[in-house]
Structure 1
Amino acid sequence: MTVAVTESPAPLTAPTAGSPASVGQRRLLTLLFVDLSGSTAMAEWMEAEHYAAMLAGLRELYERIVPHHGGVIARIQGDGMLAVFGHPEVREDDGRRATEAALELHTAVRGLVPPGPKPADFPGLTLHSGIHAGIVLVNDGDQMRGRFELLGNAPNIAARLSEAAKRDEIIASEESLGLQSQFFETGPRFTLQLRGRATPLAAYRVHGRAAVGRRFEASVRRGLAPFVGRGGELAALDAALARTLAGNSHWLGLRAGAGVGKTRLTEEFLRRAADQACQIHRGYCESYLSAEPLQPFLQMLRAMGGLADRPQDAPPELFAAQQSEPAQRADALLALLLALARRTPQVVCIDDLQWADDASLRLLHRLRAAAHRERLPLLLLTASRPQPDQAGSAPPDANDAHADVIELPPLTETEAARAVQLLLPQIDPFIASEVQRHAGGNPLFIEELCHAAADARGGLTEGQSSAAWLAALVESRVGRLPPEQASLVRLAAVIGNVIPVWLLEALTGCGERHPAVQALAAQDFIFPDQRPGHLRFKHGITRDVVYEATGLHERQALHRRISAELAARGAAAAGQFHEQLAYHDAAANDWPSAARHAEAAGDQALAASALDRAKKQFRAALAALEFLPDDEHRRRRWVGIAQRLGMACVFDASQDDLRVLRHAAGLAQADGDAGLIARTEYWLAYVGYALGETRDSLRHARAAVETAQACGDNALLAQLPGTVGQLQAAAANYAEALPMLDLAIARQRQRASKSAINQIGLSFSLCCRAYVLGDQGRFEQAHEIFAEALAPFDGSGHAVEASMQGWRAAVLLWQGRWAEARQAAAVAHRVGAQVRSMFTCAMGHAAGAYGAWMQDADPAARQHILDATAWLAPRGGGLYSSFQHGWLADLLSTQGDAGAARHHVALALRRGRQHDWIGGAMAYRAAARLAARMGDAPRARRYLALARGAGEQRNSDHEAAVTALLEAELELDDGWRAALERARIEFERMGMTGFLERARQLGGG
Structure 2
Amino acid sequence: MTEFPAPFAAAGTPSAAGQRRLLTLLFVDLSGSTAMAEWMEAEHYSAMLGALRALYERIVPHHGGVIARIQGDGMLAVFGHPEVREDDGRRATEAALELHAAVRGLLPPGPRPAHFRGLTLHSGVHAGIVLVNEGDQMRGRFELLGNAPNITARLSEAAKADEVIASEESLGLQSQFFETGPRFSLQLRGRATPLAVYRVFGRAAVGRRFEASMRRGLAPFVGREAELTALQAALVRSLGGRTLWLGLRAGAGVGKTRLTEEFLRQAADQAGQICRIHRGYCESYLSAEPLQPFLQMLRGMDGMTDAPPQLAIAQHSAPAERADALLALLLTLARREAQLVFIDDLQWADDASLRLLHRLRTIAAAQSLPLLLLTASRPEPSLPGARDDEADIIELPPLTECESARAVQQLLPQTDPFIAAEVRRHAGGNPLFIEELCHAAAETGEGLVEGQSSSAWLAALVESRVGRLPPEQAQLVRLAAVIGNVIPAWLLQALSGCGEQHPAVRALAAQDFIFPDQSPGHLRFKHGITRDVVYEATGLHERQTLHRLISQELSARGGSESQLHEQLAYHDAAANDWPAAARHAEAAGDLALAASALDRAKKQFRAALAALEFLQSPDDGDDARRDWQRRWVAIAQRLGMACVFDASQDDLRVLRHAAALAQADGDAGLIARTQYWLAYVGYALGETRDSLRHAHAAVAKAQECGDHALLAQLPGTVGQLQAAAADYAQALPMLDLAITRQRARASKSAVNRIGLSFSLCCRAYVLADQGRFGDAHDIFAEALAPFDGSGHAVEASIQGWRAAVLLWQGRWTEAREAALAAHRVGAQVRSMFTCAMGHAAAAYAAWMEQADPTALQRVRDATAWLAPRGGGLYSSFNHGWLADMLSVQGDAVAARRHVALALRRGRQHDWIGGAMAYRATARLAAQAGDAAQARRYLALARGAGEQRNSDHEAAVTALLEAELRLDDGWQAALERARSEFRRMDMPGFTERAARLAAAHGD
Please indicate the TM-score interval, normalised by the length of the shorter structure: over 0.9
Q: 2:311 aligns with which of 302, 309, 318?
A: 318
Partners in 1 of 2:278 and 2:264 — Cα distance? Answer: 10
Q: Deviations over 1:192-245 (max 9, x none)?
A: 100111110011111111100000000001110110111111010111111111
* 2:360 maps to 1:363: no
Q: C-alpha separation between the residues in 2 aligned to 1:426 and 1:575?
A: 34
Equivalent of residue 288 in structure 1, options 253, 274, 285: 285
Gaps of 5+ in 2: 1-12, 618-624
Counterpart Cα distance in 2 of 1:202 and 1:114? 35
- CA distance in structure 1 between the aligned counterparts of 2:102 and 2:138, rounded to whole angstroms: 28
Quote the residue 2:976 is aligned against: 982
Q: Please, what TM-score do these two structures have when normalized by structure 2?
A: 0.96
Q: Is the 8 A contact 1:925 1:943 kept in 2?
A: yes
Distance 2:561 2:801 in 1: 39
Within the candidate set 350, 354, 370, 1:377 is matched to 370
1:757 CA drift (Å): 2.4
Superposition pairs of residues 274-285 of structure 1, within 5 angstroms? 274-275=268-269, 276=271, 277-285=274-282
2:723 to 726, 729, 744: 729
Secondary structure in structure 1 of the residue aligned to 2:302:
helix
Match of 1:893 among 887, 898, 902: 887
1:573 is displaced (CA, Å) by: 6.1
Following the alignment from structure 1 to structure 2, what is the Cα–Cα distance between the partners of residues 285 and 641? Answer: 58
For 2:490 and 2:946, how far apart are their aligned partners in 1? 66
Give the AA of the match of 1:1003: A
The residue number in structure 2 matching 1:329 is 322
Shift of 1:677: 0.3
Tell me which residue corresponds to 1:766: 760
**589, 610, 613: which one aligns with 1:602:** 589
C-alpha distance in 2 between matches for 1:20 and 1:228: 43
Give the secondary-structure state (helix, strand or coil) at the position aligned to 1:35: strand
Question: Distance in 1 between the 2:202 and 2:616 partners?
Answer: 55
Counting only pairs closer than 5 Å after superposition, residues 400-411 of structure 1 correspond to structure 2 as 400-411=388-399
User: 1:282 corresponds to which letter in structure 2?
Assistant: R
Q: CA deviation at 1:267?
A: 0.4
> Secondary structure of the equivalent of 2:373?
strand
Q: Within 5 Å, which residues of 2 pair with 1:43-442?
A: 43-275=37-269, 276=271, 277-307=274-304, 310=305, 313-389=306-382, 395-396=384-385, 398-442=386-430
Residues 22 and 553 in structure 1, CA contact (< 8 A), matched pair in contact too: no
Name the counterpart of 1:926: 920
- Within the candidate set 497, 504, 528, 1:516 is matched to 504
* Alpha-carbon distance between aligned partners in 2 of 1:778 and 1:92, rounded to the nearest angstrom: 66
Equivalent position of 2:833 in the other structure:
839
Moved more, 934-943 or 472-481: 934-943
1:574–1:934: structure 2 CA closer, same or farther, 3 Å change rule?
closer
Give the distance between the partners of 1:466 and 1:52, measured in 2 at CA: 44
- C-alpha separation in 2, matches of 1:455 and 1:860: 26
The letter for the 2-side match of 1:124 is: G
Question: Which residue of the partner structure matches residue 4 of structure 1?
Answer: none
Question: Cα RMSD (Å) of the superposition?
Answer: 1.3
Task: Answer yes or no: is the 8 Å Cα contact 1:255–1:262 preserved in 2.
Answer: yes
Query: Secondary structure of 2:858's partner?
Result: helix
Q: 1:781 matched to which residue of 2?
A: 775
Distance 2:646 2:16 in 1: 43
1:541-560 matches, cutoff 5 A: 541-560=529-548
Is 1:583 paired with 2:576?
A: no
Q: How far off its partner does 1:59 sit?
A: 1.0
Letter in 2 for 1:668: A
**1:561-640 correspondence to structure 2 within 5 Å:** 561-570=549-558, 577-630=564-617, 631-640=625-634
Secondary structure of 2:398 counterpart: coil
2:703 and 2:436 map into 1 onto residues whose CA distance is 55
Letter matched to residue 902 of structure 1: R
Correspondent of 1:447 among 432, 435, 438 = 435
Q: Which of these residues, 476, 488, 491, is aligned with residue 488 of structure 1?
A: 476
> Which whole-Å CA distance do the structure 2 matches of 1:464 and 1:537 have between them?
15
Alpha-carbon deviation of 1:462?
5.4
1:935 to partner: Cα distance: 1.6
Aligned counterpart, 1:476: 464
Asked if 2 retains the 8 angstrom alpha-carbon contact of 1:22 and 1:551, the reply is no
Shift of 1:574: 5.3
Would you say 1:807 and 2:801 are equivalent positions?
yes
- C-alpha distance in 1 between matches for 2:570 and 2:460: 26
Give the percent of matched residue pairs that are identical in Structure 1 and Structure 2: 84
1:697-776 matches, within 5 Å, as: 697-776=691-770
Q: Name the aligned partner's letter for residue 588 of structure 2.
A: A
Deviates more, 1:946-955 or 1:657-666: 946-955
TM-score by length of 1: 0.96
| Aligned counterparts of 1:974 and 1:896: Cα–Cα separation in 2 | 25
Deviations 1:884-940 (A, max 9, x none): 000011111111011111111111011111110100100111111111111211111
Q: 1:23-78 deviations in whole A, cap 9, x for unaligned?
A: 10000011110111111111111111111111110111111110011000001111
Q: CA deviation at 1:134?
A: 0.5
**Secondary structure of the structure 2 residue equivalent to 1:253:** strand
**1:142–1:148 CA contact under 8 A, matched in 2:** yes
Q: Deviations over 1:855-896 (max 9, x none)?
A: 111121111111111100110000000000000111111110
Equivalent pair of 2:14/2:539 in contact (CA under 8 Å): no
- Structure 1 segment 855-894 matched on structure 2, within 5 A: 855-894=849-888
Residues 440, 454 of structure 2: 8 Å contact kept: no
Matching residue of 1:9: none
Q: Which amino acid aligns with 1:66?
A: V
Could you report, residue by residue, the CA deviation over 1:121-167 in whole angstroms, capped at 9, with x for unpaired residues? 11111111111010000000001100000001111111001111111
Which AA in structure 1 matches 2:338?
A: P
Check whether the contact 2:452–2:533 (CA below 8 A) recurs between aligned residues: no
Q: Distance in 2 between matches of 1:173 and 1:462?
A: 22
1:461: how far off?
4.0
Matches of 1:557 and 1:861, distance apart in 2: 54
> 1:387 & 1:170 partners in 2: Cα distance?
35
Alpha-carbon distance in structure 2 between the residues aligned to 1:768 and 1:201: 47
State the Cα deviation string for residues 777-829 of structure 1 (Å, max 9, x = none).
Answer: 11111112212221222222111111111111101110111111111111111
Structure 1 residues 965 and 576: alpha-carbon distance in aligned structure 2, compared to 1, 3 A threshold: closer
| 1:346 and 1:377 in contact (8 A); partners too | yes
Helix, strand or coil at the partner of 1:524 = coil
Give the superposition deviation at 1:739: 1.6
Q: Is residue 572–residue 581 contact of structure 2 (8 Å, CA) maintained in 1?
A: yes
Would you say the 8 A contact 1:987–1:993 is kept in 2?
yes
1:306 maps to amino acid: G
Q: Which runs of 5+ in 1 are unaligned?
A: 1-18
The residue number in structure 2 matching 1:13 is none
Instruction: For 1:516 and 1:685, locate their aligned partners in 2 and report how far apart those are by CA, in whole Å.
Output: 56
* Contact 1:452/1:464 (8 A) holds in 2: no
What secondary structure sits across from 2:200 in the alignment? strand
How many Å separate the matches in 1 of 2:104 and 2:117?
A: 10
- Give the SS at the match of 1:623: helix
> Partners of 1:495 and 1:215 in 2: how far apart?
34
Q: Counterpart amino acid of 1:978?
A: A
CA deviation after TM superposition for structure 1 residue 465, in Å: 2.8
The one of 520, 528, 531 equivalent to 2:519 is: 531
Would the alpha carbon gap of residues 573 and 441 (structure 1) be closer, same or farther in structure 2, given more than 3 Å must change? closer
Cα deviation per residue 1:170-208 (whole Å; 9 max; x = unaligned)? 110111000011111111111110011111001111111
User: Is the partner of 1:395 in helix, strand or coil?
Assistant: coil
Output the CA distance in 2 between the equivalents of 1:333 and 1:998.
76
Tell me the secondary structure at the aligned position of residue 787 of structure 2: coil
* 2:26 aligned residue: 32
Q: In the TM superposition, what is the alpha-carbon distance from 1:457 to its structure 2 partner? A: 2.4
